[in-house]
Chains A and B, each alone.
Chain A
């Protein structure tokens, strides 16, 4: 007699319903299954109308983020066996508008990623022409920002952040961590340009260091630390600008 596992899944079909509802499904329990396996089983065998995002199923693409029992998780990394009650509730990631079932609108996040100018910026006249070769960087210099390069844009941090849930104009953990990835890169000279977004009222100063973003991050990016460090450097900037009005630093 094989065990079964119950998934209570959030459903929302805008053409038919005005309100969302929960639908329960029973799947076989397998020791090695993750929540994504169960959801794929439901789609293949039980209810083909269920809509959701997934891709690599190995925790590197960031597509399959959902709330599992109220916690933001990559469903490809959440094992069924870790839920001994054999029942879970699956909902779309918190904080985002839901399009259908488990699919949410990512536009706000995509806009924010673009806003922080996530590319190397050089000062006027300091661009190195191609013939002169690469910008050189030591392993020590790489170590300063490497952690922030690991973000897979899965948005679990936004789902975990109560500030973003209350106010979606907050720039948010991943976008700020991405900005820091470039700010701390020795080849970059664009920190000042990013400050317009990062050091604004909707940037780092909205953050109250709840810290949950870093707790849920599947890649140990530690966006909370990125934000606090940005607070320190922005404060130093502020004083520098007070003392020497025309000095703008990097």
Chain B
């Protein structure tokens, strides 16, 4: 019997909105890696001399740095939000028969995010 198999093209992810945003979500990992590299440069300069660090801070004022930061921030924020929203699917807790609502789990994760962000800024920037 000859069955028919519809061919799947490599641009399958351009054919629907959910697929497209899925691939975008996966590509945020590039910006995660990119920022890791930047952090290494920052740490290296910060551990070096005052001149080296000052030069770095100066370069952060450049348009290129601002554009890269903005693009990276957009993608990494998308990564963060999609990540936190999916957490309730993985963390399933029951209290007796009742399941803890997804919104509560997500809320707890977002709250932690806020707290962590505040701690980071306090540690780096000071009180």
In the complex they form, do A and B come into direct contact, defined as C-beta atoms under 8 angstroms apart? yes
Binding site for B on A (CB under 8 A): 12, 14, 18, 20, 70, 94, 97-99, 105, 139-140, 142-144, 162, 165-166, 208-212, 215, 222, 224-225, 228-229, 232
B90 and A228 form a contact (CB under 8 A): yes
Q: Does B51 contact A (CB under 8 A)?
A: no
B 1-57 contacts with A by CB, 8 A = 1-6, 8, 12-13, 15-16, 18-19, 22, 26
Most chain-A CB neighbours within 10 Å: which of B1, B3, B15? B3
* Chain B: interface residue total (CB-CB under 8 A): 24
CA distance A97 to B2 in the complex (A): 9
The binding surface of chain B is classed by DSSP as mixed
Could you list some 18 contacts between A and B, CB below 8 A? A14-B2, A20-B4, A94-B6, A98-B4, A98-B5, A98-B6, A140-B97, A142-B97, A143-B94, A162-B22, A208-B26, A209-B86, A211-B18, A211-B22, A212-B18, A225-B92, A228-B89, A229-B90
CA distance A101 to B13 in the complex (A): 26
B12 and A222 form a contact (CB under 8 A): no
A70 and B16 form a contact (CB under 8 A): yes
Please, which residues of chain B bring their CB within 8 A of the CB of A215?
18
Closest to B96 in A: A140
Q: Does B99 contact A (CB under 8 A)?
A: yes
A105 and B94 form a contact (CB under 8 A): no
Known contacts A14-B1, A142-B97, A225-B89, then 19 further A-B pairs from the complex at CB < 8 Å, ordered by chain A residue: A70-B15, A97-B3, A98-B5, A98-B6, A99-B1, A139-B97, A140-B94, A143-B94, A143-B96, A162-B13, A165-B12, A166-B12, A210-B18, A210-B22, A211-B18, A212-B19, A225-B90, A229-B92, A232-B90
